[in-house]
């Protein structure tokens, strides 16, 4: 069974790809977490086209959780999801790193979209020490 897909939307390509690398090291299924970071020409910012492509690539049939980092990544992601509405693609308000780790580990365990979404959201309350 394919896991719920996860899209990491960041202003920084390096931040998004670095978080993907971290999740890969935690054993997520290859291709289930997709980065959409930076602009098409390599600057800091977000790309409508990159987000749309990432959602499509992460969708393995069980839904997609989209985690933005901040500010305009939320606005751009909302525009993409408004233009390409799918009931099984969810924009989640969660901490970027902790939410991604919680979502990825939960998805890797075979959880459904609602459970993966909840795991990401609940990461907001996890104490670091």
Six token digits for residue 50: 């990159």
- Looking only at the bridges linking them, the beta strands covering 33-37 and 64-68 are unpaired
Region 114-129: mean pLDDT is 93
- What pTM was estimated for this model as a whole? 0.94
Q: Which range is least confidently modeled, 15-19, 63-67, 70-74, 118-122?
A: 70-74
Q: Assess contact for 113 and 6: CB atoms under 8 A.
A: no
Whether residue 90 is predicted with pLDDT greater than 80 in this model: the reply is yes
């Amino acid at each position: 069974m394919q896991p719920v897909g996860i899209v990491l939307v960041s202003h920084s390509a390096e931040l998004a790809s670095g978080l993907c690398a971290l999740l890969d090291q935690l054993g997520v299924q290859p291709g289930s977490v997709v980065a959409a970071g930076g602009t098409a020409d390599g600057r800091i910012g977000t790309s409508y086209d990159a987000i749309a492509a990432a959602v499509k690539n992460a969708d393995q049939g069980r839904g997609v959780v989209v985690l933005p980092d901040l500010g305009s990544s939320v606005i751009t992601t909302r525009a993409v999801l408004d233009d390409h509405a799918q009931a099984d693609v969810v924009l989640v308000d969660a901490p970027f790193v902790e939410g991604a780790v919680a979502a990825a580990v939960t998805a890797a365990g075979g959880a459904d979209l609602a459970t993966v979404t909840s795991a990401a959201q609940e990461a907001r309350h996890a104490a670091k020490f």
